Structure 1
Amino acid sequence: MELIEDRAQWVKIEWKKDNPIEIINTYCPNEPKAKIEFLEKLRKKIKKNKGIKNPLVMGDFNFTEDDIDRFPMRPDDNKVVKTFTKLKKDLNLVDTWRSINPGKINYTFTQTRPEGTSMSRIDRIYHNKKLESLVTKAKITSSAGISDHKITIATINQADQPYTGHGPWKFRTELFEYKPFVDKAKKLLKKAEKDIKKYWETVFNKSNKRIKHIRKENNPQLIWTKTKEDIKELSIKMTKRQSKERLETEKTLRREMETTLRNAAKGNNRQDNLEKYNDAKKALEDWEKNNMLKAQLSAKAHF
């Protein structure tokens, strides 16, 4: 349902019986006066609509609440922030990313001009305080070329969600490109090939009575079954290892970005730190695009 034409939409999704999830998607105007008018109009529209209960409010707000969310640091128009604070109070809203990442620095939009680079966290998600215990993750990630803005992602669990276990095991096809897995899997397959070859050589050189014993203890079917189990075990182990390596790569790049930004904000070798930040940012974006492509290929393989 459109609350304000081209600027705010309300969506209600069946999430759990008698407990739907509501989302209000917003796109704030650029000019301060237009922002104030929009936010006040949105607040009144929500108040008037009795069907709206505890929505998630998200989108491109085109302003920040705190100076930490801008580079170079500066506060936004106080009247705009005050108007938005009224809306937050009415809906009991919390900045999701900031609640999970207190004190951290990250941005969703970068603008490069002749006078310098500016960055801001203008794309945000807000949740109702009632959902606070259910919000487990929040991060800012690359849009992989879909937009010139980064994407803010939040994980919100259902209340009283049952434990469902790990589900059926599936081989992750991207492991075919992971050298440590490929090298070890090749060794297992070569061993199986060698053992099967040895089996046939042994069979041809033994009496019929002895052949029955050999077939029972160690035949090609048993060798192959054991090899498949070993490869499955290896793939599980290597998936964990690969995930750990990815997490470390992401952490290192994000740490580098935050450190260089903090140093630049303090005025310490600003240009040098901005260049280091841009290098780390580019590396992270390339890494995220690569992960997204692999996820898409994996999804195609499974579905």
Structure 2
Amino acid sequence: MRVTVHRPCHARYTVHPEANNRTSSQIQDVNEYRQGDLASRTGVVRDQSATRTCNDGTEGLGGGHQTASSPTPSASEAQEWDSGSPTSPALDAQGRESPHDDHRASPANAPPLPLNTELNTPEPQTRERTPTQIGTQYRPYPSLPRTSPANTRRTQASKKRTLAHLLVSSENMRGRGHPTIAGSTKWAKLVNAIRTEKIGIMAIQETHLLPRHLQEIEQIYTDLLVINSADPDNPSGAGGVAIVMNKKHTNTHEVETRELIPGRAIMATFNWHRDDELTVLAIYAPNGARENAQIWADIKTKIRDARGQIPKPDIFLGDMNFVEDNIDRLPVALHGIDAPDSFDELKHYLALKDGWRETNPGTTDFTWRDASRTSMSRIDRIYLTDGLLKSSRNWKIQLSNLNKDDHSRISVEIVNMDMPEIGPGRWTMRELLIHDKDFMTYADAAGKLARDRLDAIERNGRSETENAQTVHRDFKQSITREAKRRMREVNCKRRTIIATMEQQCKSAKAMLRTDPTDENRKALKDAEHKRTRKHGTGPNRKRYPKRG
């Protein structure tokens, strides 16, 4: 298993030229802090400061890195500093040079550090802990004392503001569609959907991404963070699963990822809202019965044997390639791959529930179909914990413009139940009204009336009731009233059109279930394709009616 933590870029730390005659205790204070620890402090020690020099040349307060020329404490000294005795320099208030309580003094016989010497902090301990270490205090910097802030403090949380609701989605995109990301219409459509629908987290399957493709995505789509797990045997032609994070709606400051099974299962843990953490597990399961049953047993074994080092997921989603009930297949039947016992054990071990089925217990819908509509199934699913399931809403299965004859896009919105009540906000006019003939005709007439009133004021003079300010106020109020009235009409038409098309899809599915003829299959296919189009309210169902 590979564990990766996505953090901001590193910085280089040097000693400020004005800081002369440093003592070893002051240098030790600098060495104890990792990058950015002193950004919120006034200085490293009393009457002294350290400067952080970043790669772009900017400066700021920060910690240091220890080099070979820096004094290294002996084993006895380190044991004395790590002890809790009253005579320990780490706890003796008389021996401290710094006004901060978490700074320590070091032996006075240590040689001073020369000026302008680059300091290096020892690298943290990244290897996995053994079972005997579970429950003991974790020290990522074993060369530093136990009381060092680098070993005791928690990572500073990001100050990025995120919303208290998060839209989670999943879709099998069936490859890139082009050798490069820049020429891929699939990725262009996918990114456009993420932006317009404000999707925060999206799991995608069959990514077929190489490292150079990930670099292209990072350069072209800078508002996305793509965490990919490629198929080890054929990374560009088969398999692959990824988690796409929208940087505008999620906190990507420090995301911890784990590749449980290469090309099949990848996990990401991130800070969702305030102090709430979410762990997402994206899946692309094999379509063979034996391999499919084995992957669920492997995932359970890895999470169980980690003994808390691998968290249990809060959201479990992706292409499972099997169904749990025969109602989720058309024709109604259970195949040999369906409902494996290993998945049932994993689901109970993780305490997860099929959210769509819990929300729609008597509804039939499908997330995969072939081109002829002879076979359909709900193999793409989202599982949530009981707490998230109670705070979820807007469960959807919709056919996207990526694969009209293959997989559908599934989505759900989770909310923070502790968030305060938020009002409707400031009203704004929709852009589509600018292209609406009826509204623009009214706006032209209102503008001419306002201009005539201004001409009359210029001829007759202004008064308390007739002046430029009152004319402007009346013009804005009339435009606002007409815009709201027209939007009610447009929305009513659009909702009616969408409801009619959805009812046609449901009726076609019901007819196909009872009478699986070629005519009914074609009717369902036409209804689903019609539903994927963006229908407007103008002539010929165009989104923006022509102005005449």
1:159 maps to what in 2?
Answer: 417
Q: Is the 8 A contact 2:323 2:338 kept in 1?
A: no
Residue of structure 1 in register with 2:508 after alignment? 260
Relative distance call for 1:76 and 1:201 in structure 2 (3 A) is: same
Contact 1:144/1:288 (CA < 8 Å) preserved in 2?
no
Q: Which residue of 2 aligns with 1:72?
A: 331
Instruction: Give the secondary-structure state (helix, strand or coil) at the position aligned to 1:15.
Output: strand
Aligned counterpart, 1:97: 356
Instruction: Quote the residue 1:84 is aligned against.
Output: 343
Match of 1:283 in 2: 530
Q: Matched residues in 2 for 1:278 and 1:93: separation? A: 33
Counterpart code for 1:255: Q
The answer to whether the 8 Å contact 2:446/2:479 transfers is no
Mapping for residues 183-202 of structure 1, pairs under 5 Å: 183-201=438-456
Q: Which has the higher helix share?
A: 1
Q: Name the structure 2 match of 1:30.
A: 287
The Cα shift of 1:203 comes to: 5.0
Mapped to 2, the partners of 1:61 and 1:230 lie a distance apart of 55
- Could you tell me whether the CA contact under 8 Å between 1:107 and 1:120 is conserved in 2? yes
Amino acid at match of 2:493: E
TM-score of the two chains, using structure 2 as the length reference: 0.47
In 2, Cα distance between equivalents of 1:105 and 1:246: 25
Percent identical? 25
Query: Would you say the 8 A contact 1:55–1:128 is kept in 2?
Result: yes
**RMSD of aligned residue pairs (Cα, Å):** 2.7
For 1:287 and 1:232, the matched residues in 2 are separated by 26
Task: Name the CA distance, whole Å, in 2 between partners of 1:19 and 1:197.
Answer: 59
Aligned letter for 1:74? A
For structure 2, list consecutive stretches of 5 or more residues without a partner in the other structure.
1-257, 538-542, 544-548
Q: Residue 244 and residue 160 in structure 1: after superposition, are their counterparts in 2 closer, same or farther (change >3 A)?
A: farther
Determine the structure 1 residue equivalent to 2:10.
Answer: none
In the TM superposition, what is the alpha-carbon distance from 1:54 to its structure 2 partner?
A: 4.5
Which residue identity lines up with residue 293 of structure 2 in the other structure?
A: I
Moved more, 231-240 or 63-72: 231-240
Contact 1:263–1:270 (Cα < 8 Å) also in 2: no
Say if 2:289 and 2:336, in contact at 8 Å, map to a contact too: yes
In the alignment, structure 1 residue 273 sits paired with structure 2 residue 494: no
Question: 2: distance between equivalents of 1:201 and 1:79?
Answer: 79
Deviations 1:58-102 (A, max 9, x none): 001111111221222221326743221111111121111222222
Q: List per-residue Cα deviations over 1:127-166 (Å, max 9, x = no partner).
A: 1112222012200123322784211010111121111222
The residue correspondences of 1:176-215 to structure 2 (distance < 5 A) are 176-177=434-435, 179=436, 182-201=437-456, 204=459, 206=460, 211-213=461-463
SS at match of 1:117: coil
Is the contact made by 2:508 and 2:523 (CA closer than 8 Å) also made in structure 1?
yes
Q: Judging changes above 3 Å, is the alpha-carbon distance between structure 1 residues 111 and 103 closer, same or farther for their aligned structure 2 residues?
A: same
- 2:386: which partner in 1? 129
Distance in 2 between residues matched to 1:111 and 1:21, nearest whole Å: 34
- The separation in 2 between residues aligned to 1:176 and 1:120, in whole angstroms, is 43
Equivalent residue for 1:297? none
C-alpha contact (below 8 Å) 2:396/2:411 kept by paired residues: yes
Q: What is the CA–CA distance in structure 2 between the aligned matches of 1:198 and 1:80, rounded to whole Å? A: 75
Q: For structure 1, which runs of at least 5 residues remain unmatched after alignment? A: 295-303
- Match for residue 299 of structure 1? none
Aligned residue for 2:441, secondary structure, equals: helix
Find runs of 4+ consecutive structure 1 residues off by over 4 angstroms.
Answer: none
RCO comparison, higher one (Cα < 8 Å, 6+): 1
Contact 1:188 1:227 in 2 (8 A): no
Task: Name 1:224's counterpart in structure 2.
Answer: 472
> Residue 36 of structure 1 contacts residue 80 of structure 1 at CA under 8 Å; is this kept in 2?
no
2:354–2:382: 8 Å Cα contact kept in structure 1?
yes
- Over 3 Å counting, the alpha-carbon distance change for 1:175 and 1:47 in structure 2 is farther
- Taking the TM superposition and a 5 Å limit, the aligned residue runs for 1:102-121 are 102-112=361-371, 117-121=374-378
What is the CA–CA distance in structure 1 between the aligned matches of 2:399 and 2:421, rounded to whole Å? 31
Cα separation, 2, equivalents of 1:57 and 1:284: 28
Does 232-241 or 83-92 show the bigger shift? 232-241
Instruction: Note the alpha carbon deviations across 1:84-124, whole angstroms, 9 max, x for none.
Output: 111111112111122222222222222136xx621121111
Q: Which of 10, 13, 28 in structure 1 is aligned with 2:267?
A: 10
The offset of 1:189, in angstroms, is: 3.1
Residues 1:240 and 1:157: Cα distance change in structure 2 (over 3 Å): farther
Greater Rg by CA: 2
**Structure-1-length-normalised TM-score:** 0.81
Is 1:185–1:231's contact at 8 Å kept on the other side of the alignment? no
Q: Which amino acid aligns with 1:278?
A: K
In 2, the alpha carbon distance for the partners of 1:200 and 1:27 equals 69
Distance 1:79 1:103, change over 3 A: closer
Q: How many angstroms apart in 2 are the aligned matches of 1:54 and 1:21?
A: 8
Looking at structure 2, the residues matched to 273 and 133 of structure 1 have their Cα atoms a distance apart, in angstroms, of 38
